């Protein structure tokens, strides 16, 4: 909610002008998605794999953006806000609710330039990979030696093909 307030968005779930960049694939990203209504499928939630508990909130209408990062020091500072006999998990749960934002977060006013291919809405382009034949949206293709390729065919995949399956032979239990 802090990020939304900073960029001037009071009702994020009904706002079409909010984009949030999350920098980690942990529970904080799920929380941001729940609170803001931003989603990968709507192209309003962007994942930048940096491994940091941080997010950048951008108001597309005003172009105002703020990056908010969790302070590591907040884990120890929490003890100043709760009963010292509380266990760590409970202390964080209770303490984070009452701690001032300045002790929880580093807040930075930033500028974010969103390329047209990264904007919410329908794909701006679609091409067919000349090697595997799969479609590639939003100018994510790679041109190599005069051929239009998907990133997988150009640079290698995150997976190893074990076998190609004929979808017509699959049987599903219902």
Q: Which domains can be identified in the chain, with CATH numbers?
A: 2-117 (3.30.1330.130), 126-169 (no CATH)
pLDDT at 133: 96
pLDDT at 134: 97
Q: What one-character DSSP code corresponds to residue 166?
A: -
CA distances from 11 to 40, 61, 74 (A): 19, 14, 27
**Which element (helix H / strand E) includes 48?**
none
Strand pairing report for 105-110 and 126-128: unpaired
- Structure-token pair, residue 81: 């806000």
What string of H, E and C letters represents the secondary structure of 140-155?
CCEEECCEEECHHHHH
Helix (H, G, I), strand (E, B) or coil at 106: strand
> Would you give per-residue pLDDT tens digits along the chain (174 residues)?
999 999 999 999 999 999 999 999 999 999 999 999 999 999 999 999 999 999 999 999 999 999 999 999 999 999 999 987 778 889 999 999 999 999 999 999 999 999 999 999 999 999 999 999 999 999 999 999 999 999 999 999 999 989 888 888 887 765
Give the residue ranges of DSSP H helices in the chain.
2-6, 27-36, 74-77, 88-98, 101-104, 151-155
Q: What one-character DSSP code corresponds to residue 78?
A: G
- Structure-token pair, residue 93: 């749960």
- Centre a 10 Å sphere on the Cβ of residue 80 and count the other Cβ atoms it contains: 10
- Structure-token pair, residue 60: 């597309």
pLDDT at 174: 58
- Structure-token pair, residue 48: 């930048």
pLDDT at 173: 62
């Amino acid at each position: 909610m802090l990020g939304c307030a900073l960029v001037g968005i009071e009702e994020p779930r009904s706002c079409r002008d909010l984009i949030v960049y999350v920098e980690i694939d942990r529970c904080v990203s799920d929380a941001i998605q729940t609170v803001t209504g931003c989603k990968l499928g709507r192209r309003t939630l962007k994942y930048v794999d940096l491994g940091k508990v941080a997010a950048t909130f951008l108001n597309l209408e005003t172009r105002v953006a703020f990056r908010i990062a969790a302070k590591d020091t907040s884990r120890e500072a929490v003890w100043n806000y709760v009963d010292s006999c509380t266990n760590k998990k409970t202390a964080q749960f209770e303490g984070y609710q009452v701690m001032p934002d300045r002790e929880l977060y580093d807040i930075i006013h930033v500028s974010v330039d969103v390329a047209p291919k990264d904007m919410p809405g329908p794909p701006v382009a679609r091409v067919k990979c000349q090697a595997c034949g799969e479609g590639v949206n939003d100018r994510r293709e790679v041109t190599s030696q005069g051929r239009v390729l998907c990133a997988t065919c150009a640079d290698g995949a995150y997976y190893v093909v074990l076998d190609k399956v004929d979808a017509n032979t699959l049987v599903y239990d219902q």
